[in-house]
Amino acid sequence: MLTIENLHVRVDGKAILQGINLEVKAGEVHAIMGPNGSGKSTLSHVLAGREGYEVTSGSVTYAGKNLLDMPPEQRAREGVFLAFQYPVEIPGVSNIYLLKAALNAMRRHRGQSELDALDFLQLIKEKIKLVEMDEQLLYRSVNQGFSGGEKKRNEILQMAVLEPRLCILDETDSGLDIDALKVVADGVNSLRTNDRAFILVTHYQRLLNYVRPDYVHVLVHGKIAKSGDADLALELEEKGYGWIERQTAAEDAA
Amino acid sequence: MSAVSQYVEEYRTIGAALPGGHLPWLRELRERALTQFSAGGFPSPREEEWKYTNISTIEKKRFRPLPISEPSAAVESWLKNYELEDVWRLVLVDGRVAADRCRLDGMPDGMIVCGLAEALTKYPNLVQSHLGLAAGRENHGFIHFNTAFFSDGAFVRAPGGQALPKKPLQIIYLNSRPESLATVRNLIIVEPNAALELVETYAGADEQSYLSAAVTEVSIGENAALDLYKLQSESTKAFHFGGTYVQQARSARFRHYNFSFGGLLVRNEVHTELGHAAECLLYGLFLAFGRQHVDNHTLIHHAQPFGISREIYKGILDQRARGVFQGRIVVHQDAQKTDAEMSNRNLLLSENAEIDTKPQLEIYADDVKCGHGVTVGQLDENSVFFLQTRGIEEQAARTMLTFAFANEMVDRIRLDGLRGSVQAQLLALFSKANLHQEWL
Ligand SMILES: Nc1ncnc2c1ncn2[C@@H]1O[C@H](COP(=O)(O)OP(=O)(O)O)[C@@H](O)[C@H]1O
Ligand SMILES: [Mg+2]
């Protein structure tokens, strides 16, 4: 589904990603871990199409197409979803409007008709149960005055409504209490299907207790320093990132 | 002959026929105002409080007060655009009450809503004790001009000491004829312990040039409350001056919502003076496209202790439009424990749009909490990106965010019917300005 080859990215003239290789197949869950500042959000943003990132070399192919050629909205319509590490507040746009506008944009792209008000509301009410979110929040401005946990649930709600094929979650688990973490994990697990893939960016192993990844990659200084299975996450939890950082530094020196 | 002397000349012919001619005190008041107007003319950018707004184009025009005449047939359809449901309604067309368009039946005892001209006949003493009171502190050409020339206006008294039915009053000021002049003077008296919701709608015939120069004087009695909504939807070629001057007695509450959408050259003034523990809330939203110029001038006098004021003004300016926000808060020496906050946020959507914003705090008391903030900017790029990642096109995302920026103020309207109507107007403006709105 997604093939990243030798991806190099600069931000403000500074090399951040320095040769990422990653292959994600439908049905898989990949965890990307790594210390702060290693480039996890940069990778997520580049995949979602944020401006200000200069791809100096490498390629990203998604469903057989060059992902880097598409504007963000087209990537979204083709099924790429990014849950933001820091969800955006939009005073004046109600949550329900956002969901409707987004869903209808997707449906038009897929050649489906727009949902009428009743069907739409029914769909939302179904999905909102999944994230155990208060229905009142639908009628409030997007994320405004939401608690940290509510904001993250809201990202998962958007994901559940839009039904993307490639879900990238950038530290959706950070700062959540255990209940909210379980809700996010349940949300992800319930959306796991054979034709959908996940990239879970996370700083801690905690989320992976609830969502078992097929692969774990460790990002250090803009490169994948190590890949393994779910056990790698446990090892990292125990030993921290220091040993991998030292290992990469030694390799770089040699 | 200058515009000013032409108007002064005109007064010689029409003055005697203006309402209240039978009252010596009013004749005197008008004469005095005329003398001041004749000497000082309209305000000029040389005056500090007018330095961002040059109204000389008004002086190049010759607006004529209209004789009383039948409102044109088109009036009916314009009114439909603005009439709210379940309200009492007073309608002024071309500066005079249009009795057959009003809906004032079932008024509670003691409540008065009528034209100012009528009030001058029926309640001259009541008018005399309030006319020029709140506006008395003001001293510029438009005030004098209005005092000398007012042809009618709204007179409202909400009686205290009884529960009024919760039904808003709407006053519509409609300008139907080209090159006309509408000088209305409004007196709003909210007696102690009374509460009133009032919606003022200023509108006019599309694409017609006219001058609407309104002065509204408000007195809010002890422990009384007024919610005053002003919706300025004048024609995009019109000139609008609208000054609202308020006196708040002890513990009086005043909420003002200022939506300024129309007009070519617009000046909105909202000035209030707070008594002991009085509260005021000033909200404003101004939109300007094309070559519109919108100037908002607010002044809050904290004259007594324990007053609270909150002010939020937002502006959206596109194309070659110019906006002005001058917000002044004066905390007088006696006004200890004042709590005042003011903010002005502006969106500039084009390189040629311009905003002058000048918040001013003058504090003469030492135990107060005051703050202000100003932002001038473009849309938040992170929000644009976020919406794009949800499948929304960039242009639609920008429109959505611009609309949201405005809608956040519209959302504060406490009357459901009005909120819907203002929102609809906002949308119409957005589509007129050729902005995308597929997301709705
Ligand atoms: N807009 C930016 N301008 C300059 N440097 C940036 C910018 N965004 C991120 N960086 C830098 O890129 C590196 C990677 O950041 P990020 O991708 O956010 O890391 P992570 O998500 O792994 O914590 C950091 O050194 C950070 O300081
Ligand atoms: Mg990050």
Domain boundary among B223, B242, B274: B274
Same domain, B63 and B182: yes
pLDDT in tens, B88-108: 999 999 999 999 999 999 999
- For tokens 């078992």, what's the residue? A212
Q: Is residue B329 part of a domain?
A: no
Structural domain count, chain B = 2
SS3 A112: coil
Distance CA B436, CA A155 (A): 25
Question: Taking CB atoms and an 8 Å limit, are A71 and B391 in contact across chains?
Answer: no
Percentages of chain B per state (helix, strand, coil), in multiples of 5 = 30, 40, 35
pLDDT at residue B164 greater than cutoff 80: no
The verdict on B387 and B269 lying in the same domain is no
Residue B138 lies in a domain: yes
Pick the residue whose CA is nearest to atom 26 on ligand 1: A37
Question: Does any CB of chain A come closer than 8 Å to the CB of residue B86?
Answer: no
pLDDT for the residue numbered A240: 85
pLDDT confidence of residue B438: 35
Q: Which residues in chain A have Cβ-Cβ distances shorter than 8 Å to B389? A: 48-49, 72-73, 75-76, 81-82
Q: Do A92 and B404 touch (CB under 8 A)?
A: yes
Residues A59/A107, Cβ–Cβ less than 8 Å: no
Beta strand segments in B205-353, E: 211-220, 225-233, 239-248, 253-260, 265-274, 279-288, 293-302, 308-317, 322-331, 339-348
B144 is a domain residue: yes
Contact B386 A81 (CB under 8 A): no
Q: Residues, chain B, total?
A: 440
To the nearest 10 degrees (0 to 180), the angle between helices B141-149 and B24-40 is 140
Per-residue model confidence (pLDDT) at position A244? 84
Residue B437 reports pLDDT greater than 50: no
Task: Decide if B336 is inside a domain.
Answer: no
What's residue B433's pLDDT?
61
Strands B154-158 and B112-115: what pairing? Answer: antiparallel
Mean pLDDT calculated for residue range B300-312: 98
The last residue of a domain, from among B230, B254, B274: B274
Where a domain ends, among B274, B307, B329?
B274
B390, A49: Cβ pair inside 8 Å? no
Residues B270 and B389 in one domain: no
Residue type, position B272, single letter:
T
Question: Which pLDDT belongs to residue B71?
Answer: 63
Distance CA B157, CA B169 (A): 11
Q: How many CB pairs under 8 A join A and B?
A: 75
**Residue B135: DSSP 8-state:** G
Better pLDDT: A246 or B304: B304
Please give the mean pLDDT across all residues of chain B: 93
Counting ligand 1 atoms within 8 A of each CB, the residue from A14, A85, A200, A203 with the most, and so the one to mutate, is A14
Report yes or no on B345 lying in a domain.
Answer: no
d(CA B208, CA B58): 14
Instruction: Show the domain range for B165.
Output: 3-274
Asked if residues B23 and B124 have their Cβ atoms less than 8 Å apart, the reply is yes
| Tens-digit pLDDT string for chain A (254 aa) | 999 999 999 999 999 999 999 999 999 999 999 999 999 999 999 999 999 999 999 999 999 999 999 999 999 999 999 999 999 999 989 999 999 999 999 999 999 999 998 999 999 999 999 899 999 999 999 999 999 999 999 999 999 999 999 999 999 998 899 988 999 999 999 999 999 999 999 988 899 999 999 999 999 999 999 999 999 988 888 888 888 888 888 877 77
Domains of chain A with CATH codes: 2-253 (3.40.50.300)
Does residue B28 share a domain with residue B171?
yes
H and E: helices and strands count for chain B? 10, 20
B408 at interface of A, judged by CB pairs closer than 8 A: yes
Residues of A in contact with B287 (CB under 8 A): none
Q: How big is the CA angle at B7 (ends B5 and B8), to the nearest 5 degrees? A: 60
Residues lining ion ligand 2 (Cβ < 5 A) are A 40-41, 85
Element (H, E) at A155: helix A148-162
Among A92, A98, A109, the residue with its CB nearest the CB of B390 is A98
In a domain, B49, yes or no: yes
Mean pLDDT in residue range B44-67: 88
Q: How far is CA B388 from CA A48, A106, B345, in A?
A: 9, 11, 24
CA separation (Å) from B250 to A163, A231, B135, B156?
Answer: 58, 71, 19, 21
The CA distance from B117 to B185, in Å, is 10
A48/A19 Cα distance (integer angstroms): 18
Can you give the pLDDT at residue B69?
64
Mutate to test the pocket of ligand 1, among A7, A8, A11, A36 (most ligand atoms within 8 A of CB): A11
In a domain, B289, yes or no: no
Q: Which residues contact ligand 1 via a Cβ below 6 A?
A: A 11-12, 14, 16, 34, 36-42
- B225-254 per-position pLDDT tens digit: 999 999 999 999 999 999 999 999 999 999
Contacts of A97 in chain B (CB under 8 A): 439-440
Q: What is the band of B12 on the pLDDT scale with cuts at 50, 70, 90?
A: confident
What's the rounded mean pLDDT across residues B386-412? Answer: 94
Which pLDDT score is estimated for A170?
Answer: 96
Find out whether A21 and A4 touch, Cβ atoms under 8 Å.
yes
Say yes or no for a CB contact (<8 Å) between B394 and A71: yes
B388 and B264 fall within a common domain: no
Continuous segment of H or E residues that includes residue A127: helix A117-130
- B409, B258 Cβ separation under 8 angstroms: no
B350, part of any domain: no
The pTM of the full predicted model, rounded to 2 decimals, is 0.86
CA distances from B99 to B13, B81, B102 (A): 26, 19, 5
Nearest CA, atom 2, ligand 1: A11
Please tell me the predicted confidence (pLDDT) of residue B68.
Answer: 61
